[in-house]
Amino acid sequence: MAILGSTGSIGRQTLEVIQASDNLEVCALTARNNWQLLAEQAKQFSPQALALAEAAGVTKLAPLLPPDIRVFAGGGALDQLVRATQPDVLLSGVVGAAGLTPALAGIECGAALALANKEALVIAGAIVMPAAKKAGVDVLPVDSEHSAIFQCLASGKRSEVRKVVITASGGALRDWDDQAAAQAGVEDALNHPTWQMGRKITIDSATLINKAMEVVEAHWLFDLSPDEIEVILHPESIVHSCVEFCDGSVIAQMGPPNMAMPIAYALHYPDRADRRDTPLDLPSLGSLTFRPLPPRCRRAVKLGFEAIRRGGVAGAVVNGANEAAVGAFLDGRIRLGRIVELVEDALDRTPAVDEVTLDALIEADAWAQQQVTAAVA
């Protein structure tokens, strides 16, 4: 398996899952610039190759490695590593648009794609899903909500599905009033009540743009129309999502709020891993609660539905605008409430394209980033 983004939250949890299993082997690991952790992981998992997306760290990394490990560095390093190692499974835990072309490289090589990097589908689901179908490879969701939907869908035929229900924890600011949430600081927004994740997705959870992206992700993964997708609030993060069938049955998937279970499901698919983790203790949970999204959350989630309805490069615009706006928020240059406004502005001005090609999508993502950067400046 190649683990892209092995130094991040998903990547580290993936390596824990691999360590706990006796039939999974690592062939490649990657980071952006965390060469120290990458070197430690290389010692522990003995991959054939490593990649660092920012070349600066490579002079420090190389002396720490055994001589037979290949190292790729700089722009395109992840794509090169995937092509050189030809993994059976490519797990992408890279954050942001940087995960797109390595995922496509994996599909080209015939690797099953275990995808945590939802941005690849938000930008270019129109390219990734047909490419996977043509190559005959599985796209296995790692996002817990989509892993849940994938598992629930096994309970019936596609023609029997009425809708999928994606659950949202509500993020760090779930119980804040609108005005306070709009002014929230970085530390407040990073203080997620139920999930330990990387910084970008934690901010995306606080703004609820994470759910907008998950709506687009569900559209591409499961070929769902906007009318077949609903998002509700579930603060405990135990029910990861549900599918309602035509007879009114609602099948839900439950698990603890960590990523080990969906990661293991994707890595062992179509089997289930025999894992020794503590299962859910239902009596100790007491009660689970569900409620409709409040208006502030609905406004953010609407961006996902709108991106699907508009089609073309709209998903790429939402992703690019959000990536730049989250960066500006984390740098202290805008308040939290501006993020959704900036993404809405960019989406309203989505450029028309003659044809939805990979280049057009990548350009639209970059265009939206520039629009937000200029607006912030």
Ligand X SMILES: NC(=O)c1ccc[n+]([C@@H]2O[C@H](COP(=O)([O-])OP(=O)(O)OC[C@H]3O[C@@H](n4cnc5c(N)ncnc54)[C@H](OP(=O)(O)O)[C@@H]3O)[C@@H](O)[C@H]2O)c1
- For residue 50, list its beta bridge partners: 29, 71
Q: Which is nearer to ligand X, 34 or 350 (CB)?
A: 34
Shortest distance (Å) from residue 104 CB to ligand X: 14
Q: Is 75 exposed, middle or buried (0-12, 13-18, 19+ CB in 10 A)?
A: exposed
Q: How far apart (Å, rounded) are the C-alpha atoms in residues 173 and 40?
A: 36
What does DSSP assign to residue 158? G
The candidate with the shortest Cα–Cα distance to 213, out of 124, 128, 112, 139, is: 124
In the bound complex, what is the minimum distance in angstroms from residue 24's beta carbon to ligand X?
19
Which of the 8 DSSP states describes residue 271?
S
Residue number with CB closer to ligand X (229 or 266): 266
CB nearer ligand X, residue 204 or residue 244: 204
Rg of the Cα atoms in the chain: 20
Measured in degrees and rounded to the nearest 5, phi and psi for residue 291 equal -155, 165
Calpha distance 140→111 (Å, rounded): 11
**Residue count of the chain:** 377
Is residue 250 within 8 Å of 158, Cβ to Cβ?
no
Is the CB of 190 or the CB of 232 nearer to ligand X? 190
Distance of CA 147 to the CA centre of its chain: 12
| Minimal distance, residue 76 CB to ligand X, in Å | 10
β-strand 139-141 against 161-168: which pairing, if any? unpaired
Smallest separation (angstroms) from ligand X to the CB of 127:
17
* Beta carbon nearer to ligand X, 2 or 244: 2
Cβ-based nearer residue to ligand X, 93 or 327: 93
The smaller minimum CB distance to ligand X, of residues 73 and 244, is found at 73
Residues that bind ligand X (CB under 6 A): 5-11, 31-34, 53, 78, 93-96, 98, 116-119, 143, 195, 197-199, 201, 259
- How near is the Cβ of 262 to ligand X at its closest, in Å? 8
CA distance readout (Å), 59 to 52, 64, 289, 344: 11, 10, 52, 42
Token pair listed for 149: 């939907």
| Least distance CB 329 / ligand X (angstroms) | 15
- Closest residue to ligand X: CB criterion: 8
Q: 43 vs 349, which CB is nearer to ligand X?
A: 43
Cis peptide before 279 (omega within 30 of 0): no
Least distance from ligand X to the Cβ atom of residue 151, Å = 16
Rounded least distance, CB 209 to ligand X, Å: 11
